[in-house]
Amino acid sequence: MKILKLKEGKSFDMGKGKTINVLSPEIGSKYVTLNYSEFEPKQAFTQHIHKNSEDVIIILKGSGYIRVEGKDYEIKEGDVVYIPAGEMHGTIAGDEPMIAISCQAPPDMDLYTGVYNKK
């Protein structure tokens, strides 16, 4: 058992926001990852695909858009977004800051290496 803090962990680059990996195989998780993200207005989380992982994004504060396969969908505080493996996606904050958490299962370790920013 571990008790973790949402704002503590390893930072990684996925756009211009602040994104922290809170839970991953690096600290003992075998089947899921958890990330915490803060975005200023209009900042985006880089578009990417998890080839073998499902993604769940929970909007804790603010609003914006989830871009899936090139189409934008409005998201707001309290929304839970499910992305099946293989769908291109990323978030974009609206006119106010946005805070979200996301989980991937199984873990997609490419997310933390910057590989998606190089495509």
DSSP state of 48: B
pLDDT for 32? 96
Percent of the chain with pLDDT over 90: 81
pLDDT for 117? 62
Helical segments of the chain, H only: none
Domain boundaries, the chain: 10-118
Rounded mean pLDDT, 37-46: 95
pLDDT for 38? 97
Rounded mean pLDDT, 99-114: 90
CB 32 within 8 Å of CB 66: no
7 burial level (CB within 10 Å; 0-12, 13-18, 19+): exposed
Q: What is the band of 114 on the pLDDT scale with cuts at 50, 70, 90? A: low
pLDDT for 67? 96
Residue 46: strand, helix, or coil? coil
CB 9 within 8 Å of CB 20: yes
Q: What is the pLDDT of residues 26-38, one digit of tens each?
A: 888 999 999 999 9
Flag the least confident range among 54-58, 73-77, 91-95, 111-115.
111-115
CATH hierarchy code of domain 10-118: 2.60.120.10
